Structure 1
Amino acid sequence: MRTITLEGLHVLAQVGVLAHEFGAPQPVLISVSVDMPDAPAVPLRDELSQVLDYRHLRELAKAEAEREHTHLLETLAGRIAQRALALPQVAAARVRVAKPQVFADCDSVSVEVRLQPDARGTS
């Protein structure tokens, strides 16, 4: 089994329900972790073709965050998790999206979503 984690990707995203959040991108931090139970812990060959290229995780998370205004962190995290789950060999995806500038007395507010093939966000 292999797990790949992308931790703390800094993105400017249009997310939120408050009036001042519309049309004003704000910083969010995105972490994505995917489980690949059928992948050997150590690749058979030391070649990129033997693994999931983690650049794909970065690209899909960034693209989804920058695509359009999203009202809820839950929605953004779920969409990223659905896209990650569609990657080859991925059996589970965990996505955390954090907004660091919500409250002056908090480091951030975050939402974490976990998806597996039997729970792709439809429930």
Structure 2
Amino acid sequence: MPGWPMHPRLAACRRVFLKAFELPVRIGVHDFERRGPQRLLIDVDLYVSLAASTPHEDRLDEVVDYDFIRGVIAERVAQGHIGLQETLCDEIAARMLAHPEVCAVRVSTEKPDVYPDCAAVGVEVFHIKESAA
């Protein structure tokens, strides 16, 4: 199977993305992580078919809006503590794929403050909707 950016089912898609969305998130399984929020960076790539994302009248309601991406993330984070980055990525991805115009999604999360000798630790997930493109 080809890598996800080259996947043939995504050839007729537009990528809409949110990069390095920084939020204080209550996440982690260790005791020290349960005491308060920590900085988390979230990237999301949505793949939307060109047919469903090519504006004809230059109006916002003709495309998938960035506010949708931010809103989904903020809503999930507000629900409370998350143990694992894997859980958060999977939940965000599922909510993004529920949008009727989204064909595929990539979600990554990074904790930049975990180790002093690393830029970040993180998780990434990619899903293609069964009925995509």
TM-score after normalising by structure 2: 0.82
- Please give the per-residue CA displacement for 1:78-119, whole angstroms capped at 9, x wherever unaligned: 10111111113101111000000110000111110111224x
Q: Distance in 2 between matches of 1:41 and 1:65?
A: 27
The match for 1:113 is 125
The match for 2:19 is 7
User: How many residues are paired up?
Assistant: 118
Task: Provide the alpha-carbon RMSD of the alignment.
Answer: 1.4
SS at match of 1:28: strand
The match for 2:9 is none
Question: Residue 73 of structure 1 is aligned with which of 85, 94, 101?
Answer: 85
Matched, 1:104 2:116: yes
Structure 2 residue identity aligned to 1:109:
V
The match for 2:96 is 84
The match for 2:41 is 29
- Please give the per-residue CA displacement for 1:12-62, whole angstroms capped at 9, x wherever unaligned: 111111111113111100011110125366422200111111111011112
SS at match of 2:102: coil
Structure 1 residue identity aligned to 2:31:
A
Matched, 1:60 2:88: no
Relative to its length, the structure with more helix (as a share) is 2
Q: Distance in 2 between matches of 1:11 and 1:27?
A: 6
Checking the alignment, whether the CA contact within 8 Å between 1:39 and 1:89 is kept in structure 2 is no
Structure 2 residue identity aligned to 1:29:
L
Structure 1 residue identity aligned to 2:76:
E
Fraction of identical pairs, as percent: 36
Structure 1 residues not aligned, in runs of 5+: 119-123
Structure 2 residues not aligned, in runs of 5+: 1-12
